[in-house]
Amino acid sequence: MVGGAPLAYDEPDSAKALILMTDGSFNATINNSQGSSTWQAQQLCDNIKNTGVIIYSVAFQAPQSGEDVLNYCSSGPEFFFNPDNGQELTQAYKAIATSISDLRLTQ
């Protein structure tokens, strides 16, 4: 960070990452003319990944439909976590922290 601003997307030796955690329940009213809430979430995740941001998803006590969306949103199976309890949630975040600290961009 320079002066409090994040590094540019093309900055060498840097990576952008997002941790998405939710129970996966869509509890807000959506505008049906813009597609289902699931479709909108998938489109948002696609747009984020297309910018090069790595998405880690944590489906803590999520229903199957929520797990499905979060799994879709993750940047791959190794970026998706489905903990069942507090201890597994802590382990998931430790794994994410380790992964983020190990990220390296290659050209």
- Whether residue 1 lies inside any domain: the answer is no
CATH number, domain of 35, equals 3.40.50.410
Closest to 30 (Cα-Cα) out of 19, 20, 45, 41: 41
Is 13 strand, coil or helix?
Answer: coil
User: Which amino acid, 35?
Assistant: G
Rg of the chain over all Cα atoms, to the nearest angstrom: 15
pTM, two decimals, is: 0.82
For the segment 11-24, what is each residue's pLDDT rounded down to a tens digit? 777 788 999 987 76
Structure confidence at residue 94 (pLDDT): 95
Range of the domain at 67: 21-102
Is 56 strand, coil or helix?
Answer: strand
Say if residues 14 and 105 touch (Cβ distance below 8 Å). yes
